[in-house]
Amino acid sequence: MSERVLTIEVNGEPHRILSSDNRTLLEVLREDLGLTGTKHGCDVGECGACSVLMDGQPVLACLVLALQVGDRTVTTIEGLAADGNPDPVQKAFAERGAAQCGYCTPGMIISSRALLDGNPDPSTEEINTALAGNLCRCTGYNKIVEAVHLAASREARP
Ligand code: FES
Ligand code: FES
């Protein structure tokens, strides 16, 4: 398998990496950049644990080849906090106890962030739809939905 030098922007920083063509964005994030907040679950696009934002849209990093990223910007869970302050969705998850084992949590938060960026006041049904690709084995869905509503209500305040 051939290798090439790739430049990808992750969390606002450009990175140059040497990667074989068949490596996924998930592998590069975790193994080359040390961004292990993005979780390695099923590896086949079914669990949502590897969700990241690419140009603000949620994607499954296990299904994206690193060489496909190109000029698009990648945001991982580590990139959501601004100036050391957690994203409002992260805060709400903590306050509502929306993480149990926590394995699904980064992906849930990434998908929730993308939802609120496009729809600041989602209904419960819209939250469920947005998070349908993110599986939680701990069955903590009610608290997760509550947390998204809480984050939305806070962000809506002037
Ligand atoms: S690890 Fe990517 S969807 Fe499960
Ligand atoms: S909190 Fe354990 S998988 Fe969701």
| 25-46 tens-digit pLDDT | 999 999 999 999 999 999 999 9
Query: Per the structure block, which two tokens stand in for 123?
Result: 């209904």
Asked whether residue 130 carries a pLDDT value surpassing 80, the answer given is yes
The domains found in the chain, sorted by start residue, are: 3-79 (3.10.20.30), 88-156 (1.10.150.120)
Asked whether residue 106 carries a pLDDT value surpassing 90, the answer given is yes
Using CB distances shorter than 6 Å, the residues near ligand 1 are 40-43, 45-50, 60, 62
Rounded to the nearest angstrom, the distance between the alpha carbon of 104 and the centre of ligand 2 is 5
Q: What average pLDDT score do residues 116-134 get? A: 97
pLDDT of res. 143: 96
Average confidence score pLDDT of the chain: 95
Alpha-carbon distance of 129 to 124, in angstroms, equals 9
For helices 88-96 and 105-118, give the axis angle rounded to 10 degrees.
130
Amino acid letter, 32: D
- 72 Cβ contact partners less than 8 Å away, ≥ 6 residues apart: 9, 54, 55
Rounded to the nearest angstrom, the distance between the alpha carbon of 113 and the centre of ligand 2 is 18
Ligand closest to CA 39: 1
Protein residue with its CA nearest to atom 2 in ligand 2: 101
Q: What average pLDDT score do residues 127-148 get? A: 95
Protein residue with its CA nearest to atom 3 in ligand 1: 45
pLDDT of res. 2: 85
Asked whether residue 18 carries a pLDDT value surpassing 90, the answer given is yes
Q: What average pLDDT score do residues 80-96 get? A: 93
Q: What average pLDDT score do residues 85-102 get? A: 96
Ligand closest to CA 136: 2
pLDDT of res. 158: 58
pLDDT of res. 36: 98
pLDDT of res. 29: 98
Rounded to the nearest angstrom, the distance between the alpha carbon of 90 and the centre of ligand 2 is 15
Q: What average pLDDT score do residues 129-147 get? A: 95
Q: Are the beta carbons of 52 and 38 closer than 8 angstroms?
A: yes
